[in-house]
Amino acid sequence: MAESPLIEVEHIAKVYHMGDVEVHALRDVSLAISEGESIAVMGPSGSGKSTLMNVLGCLDRPSHGTYRLAGQEVSKLDRNQLARVRNRTLGFVFQSFNLLSRTSALENVELPLLYAGVSGRERHKRAREALERVGLGGRAHHHPNQMSGGQQQRVAIARALVTHPHLMVADEPTGNLDSRTSVEIMALFQELGRSGITLLLVTHEPDIARYASRVVVMRDGLVQSDRRQMPLVADVAAAAAQAAAAGIP
């Protein structure tokens, strides 16, 4: 893996103005994340973890500080340029899946390629590959409402994967899933991590954070702790056995 960090954040701050009140969502955060790492960002609500994710995910710009993503300074880009970075370099996975309803899985996965200007045939091919990679090759033409939560999240992961991003940003990806499906999703993330994709995982569940190689805890807009750990390997079979023992089908 490359030696220079994928993400270099130096002294970023984010201030929101709510009327006359200034809200310091991020006060002073510096982070360096290398390629292939999997980082779990934790912290209570209001700690600034969502704001950090939005800034790192190029959905928002920091008020102060610099942010270099894959060597590119992105903290001063305009909205159109940020959209381009999101399209080329990033993939998003959300708690509530955020798939387009009444649109097939395949077309949902094609969506980022549509905005990348990829031609129709190439789009189909790559979207099918991404779906196969998440184990949903046979469900390309199903609509989100015909799929389980776990399957929908897999489609969302395929959509995040399809542009071959450097960084995958996942916001509470297991928040709407049962524990067994959560393990399956985390196993999928770990598999992607082995192929070199960097994962930024925002969660409040310590169980989920255990699957990451590094845990960053936020508090009051500051990094409270930042430690590396030996990630727990997501064991799908064990999770299934546990679920069976608990009487969950």
Partner 1 sequence: MNVLQVFRVAIRALLRNKLRSFLTTLGVVIGVAAVIAMVAIGEGAKAKVAEAFASMGSNLLIVLSGSTTSGGARGGFGSLPTLTWEDLRAMRAECNAVRYATPQLRGSASVISEDQNWGTSVYGVSPEFFAIKDWPVSSGSGISQSDIDGGTKVVVLGQTVVEKLYGPSADPVGQMVRIKNFPFQVIGVAIRKGQSVTGQDQDDVVFMPYTTFQAKIQGGLQKFVPGMLMVSATSADDTARAEKQIANLLRDRHHIPIGGDDDFSIRNLTEMATAQQEGVNTITSLLASIALVSLLVGGIGIMNIMLVSVTERTREIGIRMAVGARPRDVLSQFLVEALTLSFFGGVIGVLIGLFGANRLAGHFGWPVMVRVDIIVVAVSFSGLVGVVFGLYPALKASRLDPIDALRFE
| Residue 214: CB minimum distance to partner 1, A | 24
| Residue 50: CB minimum distance to partner 1, A | 9
| 89, 7 contact by CB (below 8 A) | no
| 73, 67 contact by CB (below 8 A) | yes
- Residue window 15-54: x/- pattern of binding to partner 1, with contact defined by CB under 8 A: ---------------------------------------x
| Residue 100: CB minimum distance to partner 1, A | 6
| Residue 16: CB minimum distance to partner 1, A | 11
Among 14, 49, 86, 133, binds partner 1 (CB under 8 A): 86
132/130 Cα distance (integer angstroms): 5
- Residue window 143-182: x/- pattern of binding to partner 1, with contact defined by CB under 8 A: ----------------x---x-------------------
Q: What is the DSSP string of 91-125?
A: EEE-TT--PPTTS-HHHHHHHHHHHHT--HHHHHH
Q: Return the range that interacts with partner 1 (CB under 8 A); candidates 19-27, 80-88, 129-137, 237-245.
A: 80-88
Nearer to partner 1 by C-beta: 37 or 171?
A: 171
- Nearest 5°: the CA angle 126, 173, 149 is 75
207/190 Cα distance (integer angstroms): 15
192/73 Cα distance (integer angstroms): 26
Nearer to partner 1 by C-beta: 51 or 181?
A: 51
| 211, 232 contact by CB (below 8 A) | yes
**For the chain, first and last CA: distance in Å?**
41
Nearer to partner 1 by C-beta: 33 or 99?
A: 99
Among 17, 102, 194, 227, binds partner 1 (CB under 8 A): 102
Q: Return the range that interacts with partner 1 (CB under 8 A); candidates 14-22, 25-33, 88-96, 202-210.
A: 88-96
Positions 105 through 144 that interact with partner 1 (CB under 8 A): 111-112, 114-117
In the structure encoding, which two tokens stand for residue 125, read together?
């091919």
206/212 Cα distance (integer angstroms): 10
| Residue 23: CB minimum distance to partner 1, A | 14
DSSP 74: -
Nearer to partner 1 by C-beta: 159 or 214?
A: 159
**Bridge partner residues of 169 (DSSP):** 92, 200
In the structure encoding, which two tokens stand for residue 149, read together?
């939560």
- Residue ranges that bind partner 1, judged by CB under 8 A: 54, 59-60, 79-80, 83-84, 86-88, 92, 94, 98-100, 102, 111-112, 114-117, 159, 163
